[in-house]
Structure formats: structure tokens, C-alpha cells
Structure 1
Amino acid sequence: MAFMKNAWMEWIKAFLIAAILAILVRVVLFAPVVVEGPSMLPTLENNDHLIVSKINYTLGKPERFDIVVFHATERRDYIKRVIGVPGDHVAVENDELYINGERVAEPYLKERKEQLAENQILTQDFTLEQVTDEGYETVPEGHVFVLGDNRNNSTDSRMFGVVPMDQIVGEAVFTYWPLDRIRLAD
């Protein structure tokens, strides 16, 4: 009888430790996120399931072209690509991205651009000054400028301005569902 009681206590302890570790991993290190909508096509599709690393930006800062999840409102998170980091001037001219006056390649847009009809553009011309209410000339400290990969169907920094870094949940690191789309985030 004592053996059964000890065995049950060991199982209960093991279960409690596993539950506490799972909660810690979920709250502190990683979070599952489901993509809602077409704004990141073709990189991420509607209903893709991702793992978001919360610790990446505890130890470092977002880098240009990271895919991040951030709090857009109290009830809604967005997933977008970081285009500008503090100190960057961001502009698009003739469907080409310019950061600090230099043209920057965006290979993740190649497939999307190929789907467009002739003479159709993916990204309308803009400058950072034009799309921020504050008229920022560069991305301010503690903020990032984000765009969706599906530029003609994305609510992003062109509409709501720069994103405070303290609103960033984490970096998308891995797509795990559906099975045919399993891959590291790029």
C-alpha cells in the first residue's frame, strides 16, 4: 500500500513539474501564433501556425527584415516584417525599397511581384515623413517601421506609423502547421 502511495506521489510531482515548466516556456520563452489574413503572402499564409520567440528581443533588438508579432490593439496582434530600425530613413520609389538613400533588395517579394500584371506595382511610393503623423525623418529610438509582404493588401506602418519596441511580442522563428509548410521563418 505504501508503495502505491509513493508511486502516485511521484506521478503527481512529475506532472506538476511538467505543468510548471510548460507554463514557464509558454509565458517567458515561446508562444504559438496563428496568422490571420493575407497581409504576409506569400511568406506566410492565412492560418499558418507559428512559434514566436519571446526571448530574442529580451536579449537583443529587432533587426531589419525580421518577421515580428506585436500588439496592434489591446485585443489584436499583427505579424509584419521589420523594414526600418532606429535611425533608418525608409522610402519606396518605383516599387523599390530605399533605406537611408540606398536601394535594398527584397527577395521575399519576388514571388509576389511575379504574380502582378504588367505595369502593376506592389508598393505605392512613400517616404517615412509622408506616412507618419509626426513627420519623422528617421525611425525614432525605441521603434521599428513594419510592412506586410503583401504590400497592396496590408495594414502596416504606412497606416498606423512606427511600432514601439515594447509592443513587440517576439520574432516568428518557425512555421509548424500545416505540415506541408513546416519551415524556419525567413
Structure 2
Amino acid sequence: MFLLKIAKEWIGTIAISFVLAMIVGIFLIQPYKVDGHSMDPTLRDGQRVFVSKLPHTFSYYPNYGDIVIIDSRVHRHRSFMDDVMDNPLFQLMGNNDDRTFYVKRVIGKPGDVLELKDHEVYRNGEPLDEPYVKEAMEQSDGERWVVPDGHIFVMGDNRNNSEDSRAIGFIPLDHVMGKKVL
């Protein structure tokens, strides 16, 4: 009888811990691992970062220059179940489907006009001061984008080795998983 009581207490404690960990991972903070070299030299392949989930939870725009985690599947709707399944606890239990998260830098917000000229990025006619960029872009000049409402435009710091908004398109606000804090 004594062992049954102890087992019930442990099960209760573990269940409460699981629920609290889920809440923290879905709504507040979550670790991510950088996969690839698109953010060189700022972030390295394999580096771990902690991401504030508050922009995602409260649907507000990150600032220009913020490093964000995005769900690159921009042509599909995200649901609350996506947020639950993206939680690290489910990843530990073997939920390793084809989800693709990218680490990128915010370059444009709704209404911004972005252009590539002289191997630099211009926002609303002004060249961006980007000391974090690895090297000059090899991409041809003349590309132009106008960021629509409810979206952002992101690019990697290693512009010549980055699959970003130039390739996948504008990022819906609900696909911004959070911004890097550590």
C-alpha cells in the first residue's frame, strides 16, 4: 500500500512537470539547433540557440535585424497542433517528420520595398548597413520585392549560401517561431 501511494505521487509529479514543460516550450522559450552555414559568420553549424516564443505567441513583428526561427513551409497554414508537435518533448519521443525550420535575419516588414543593387540590399531606397554579412552577394542586381501585410522578408548572413525569402518567398507572421535571445 505504501509503494502504491509513492508511485501515485511520482506519477502526479511527472505529469505536472510534463505539462509545465509543454507550456514553456510552446509559449515562452525553446531551444533550436542551427543546421547549415546560411548564418555564417554570426552563427555556426551545430550551434544551439534559445528562442523567445513571445513574438509567435502574441503575433507581433520582430525588429529589423532580429535573428528569427521560421517554419519554411510558407505555403501551408500552421495550426496550434503544429506548435504542440514542434515542442522538444515530442522531438525526444521520436516525432521526426519533415519539418524544416530555418534561422534567418529580418530584413523587411509589411510595406517595405526591398531591392538588390550593386550587390547590396536596399530597403525603401536606402542601403542597409549590414556588418554581419559574410561577403558581398553574387546575386544579380535588379530584383525587387514589396513585403505584403502579415509577412516579413528574411535573409541569411551568408547571402551566397542561404535559402531565404529570395527563394521561398515572404514569411507569414504565424510562421515566425520566435526570435533568438541566447
Q: Normalized against structure 1, the TM-score is what?
A: 0.73
Q: Show the counterpart of 1:17.
A: 16
- Tell me how far apart the structure 1 counterparts of residues 153 and 15 of structure 2 sit (CA, whole Å): 42
1:23 to 1:57, Cα distance in 2 relative to 1, 3 A: closer
1:19 to 1:160, Cα distance in 2 relative to 1, 3 A: closer
User: Could you say what secondary structure the match of 2:148 adopts?
Assistant: coil
Pairing 1:58–2:57 present = yes
Q: After superposition, where does 1:1-186 map in structure 2 within 5 Å?
A: 12-59=11-58, 60-73=60-73, 75-109=99-133, 112-113=134-135, 121-127=136-142, 129=144, 136=145, 138-174=146-182
Q: CA deviation at 1:68?
A: 1.1
Indicate conservation of the 8 Å contact 2:55/2:61, yes or no.
Answer: yes
Q: Which runs of 5+ in 2 are unaligned?
A: 74-97
Indicate conservation of the 8 Å contact 1:90/1:127, yes or no.
Answer: no
1:168 to 1:35, Cα distance in 2 relative to 1, 3 A: same
Q: CA deviation at 1:32?
A: 1.4
Q: CA deviation at 1:5?
A: 7.5
> What amino acid does structure 1 have at the position aligned with 2:53?
K
- Tell me how far apart the structure 1 counterparts of residues 51 and 155 of structure 2 sit (CA, whole Å): 18
User: Could you say what secondary structure the match of 1:61 adopts?
Assistant: coil
User: Could you say what secondary structure the match of 1:50 adopts?
Assistant: strand
Q: CA deviation at 1:10?
A: 5.2
- Tell me how far apart the structure 1 counterparts of residues 101 and 47 of structure 2 sit (CA, whole Å): 15
- Tell me how far apart the structure 1 counterparts of residues 147 and 23 of structure 2 sit (CA, whole Å): 34
- Tell me how far apart the structure 2 counterparts of residues 128 and 89 of structure 1 sit (CA, whole Å): 11
User: Could you say what secondary structure the match of 2:181 adopts?
Assistant: strand
> What amino acid does structure 1 have at the position aligned with 2:47?
D
- Tell me how far apart the structure 2 counterparts of residues 19 and 71 of structure 1 sit (CA, whole Å): 25
Q: Which runs of 5+ in 1 are unaligned?
A: 114-120, 130-135, 175-186
Q: CA deviation at 1:84?
A: 0.5
The total of aligned residue pairs comes to 157
Q: Show the counterpart of 1:116.
A: none
Q: CA deviation at 1:13?
A: 4.0
Q: CA deviation at 1:19?
A: 2.6
> What amino acid does structure 2 have at the position aligned with 1:40?
M
> What amino acid does structure 2 have at the position aligned with 1:71?
D
Q: Normalized against structure 2, the TM-score is what?
A: 0.74
Indicate conservation of the 8 Å contact 1:31/1:51, yes or no.
Answer: yes
1:49 to 1:38, Cα distance in 2 relative to 1, 3 A: same
**Rg larger for:** 1
Q: CA deviation at 1:102?
A: 1.2
Identity rate, percent: 41
Q: Show the counterpart of 1:182.
A: none
